[in-house]
Amino acid sequence: MDLQVLLRHTKLNQFVIGSAQWWEHVSSVGTPIQIPRSNGTTDLIFLWQEQRHESEHKAIYIEINGVVNHHDFNAAELTRYLGTDVYYYVCNIESSWNGTYALIPVFQEAMQPAYLGDKQQQITQHRDWIMKRREHHIADPFNKMNLHYGQWATSHSRSYLAPSVIHPAWTDYDQNSASQDWASLCRTHLYKSKLLQQNRRFWTYSTAEENHDDLPLVILLDGEFWVESMPVMGPLNFCTEHDLLPPAVYVMIDAISVQQRGEDLTCSPIFWQAVIEEIIPMVAEHYSVSSNKDKVTVVGQSYGGLSALYAALNWPEHFSNALSQSGSFWWPNMSLMHNSHQADIIQSIPETLYLDNDIEALGEKYRLNIYMEVGIREKVMVPLAEHIHSKLKMNNHNTIIELYDGGHDRLIWREGIIKGLIWLMNK
């Protein structure tokens, strides 16, 4: 739809598009501009002001989590308005969506290339370009809800159409403009793992008073993100102070690298042996943590969501609780993920998934508590998660699955961590 026609529904209509007054108003109201419709959808208008430099950007791409299909060869791109410094992108979306987006201004060398070869070769080239252009992701300068610090905050902006999803525990973090070194409030552990044959790192953080004992233990995978990029310690304090969570010890395990993460979190028994035989004993040297399996919880997202459930199913004598967010239950069938954008991909889902055997093998000796969530815009991930949830139910485990209107998005996972821990730790 034409930008001028859309803006008739906003106060921007009183200014000339691209004028100084127009941009001043954009800056005061923030972006994306939201125009609710009577049919339960909302028009979102994303804006970019191109600065008058000697070298102008050749394209302004946009990534909207769960909305823009980045598998599409026609990359979503902002349109320049009639030779002005205004670039815009419009989408219409259900008013229940929440998520993140990034603007991607690029010069000639980073523009989308022409793909060569057969279909599969082109898919590979496109995937490689999508990965490389992430270096150019930036937060929207006009977004009023941008987070103020952390590497993740520099390349992501938030947009809430249904803001009730935000847990109050995150309010202080969202509103605090002062950078706080949360990592310094954690105890950092560096050690040489005999089992993994490499140097490893993890952090510990306690929300308990010094005299507390038999404390619940919570293990968070992808720990470097929850310590350095989206520190979860403040929200955990909030929940403890408001009696939403019991005092506990939290262990955040560093993924180290993308490659190492792919090895550790894809149902690796040696990784979990290292957690059980090396990491937990080190934690016990500093904190009075419980040895009761019912007071130990594993938390993970994506590969981590797969791994958290895998750990509970295979070492139920150590872990009774798992919080699995957007679990990669397609693994090891990589084609399910690589072709997840195809309309008929659901027909390719196998009758048996990797974790099915673990669920069946566990039998009735142990009853696990499993909190699962997945975004309805994660396509094939939804039926896969529902399949696992159904299998757990059939085997008498205490499990719940929550669906949210969003994508594979850490912004929503941070809310799910809080909601899931409250459900699991108050049994």
State mean pLDDT over 173-186.
80
What percent of the chain has a predicted confidence (pLDDT) above 70? Answer: 96
Q: What domains sit in the chain, N to C, each tagged with a CATH number?
A: 3-162 (2.60.40.10), 166-424 (3.40.50.1820)
State mean pLDDT over 333-346.
69
State mean pLDDT over 168-172.
92
Task: Sheet with 98-106: list strands edge to edge.
Answer: 59-64, 98-106, 157-160
Mean pLDDT, rounded, of the chain: 93
Residue 347 has a pLDDT of: 66
Q: Which of 42, 15, 12 is nearest to 30 (CA)?
A: 12
State mean pLDDT over 344-369.
86
Q: Report the length, in residues, of the chain.
A: 427
Kindly report, residue by residue over 359-412, the tens digit of the pLDDT: 999 988 899 999 999 999 998 899 999 999 999 999 999 999 999 999 999 999
CA distance 355 to 404: 23
Per-position b or e across 13-52, b if 16+ CB within 10 A of its CB? eebebeeeebbeebeeeebbbbbeeeeebbbbbbbbbeee
pTM of the model: 0.94
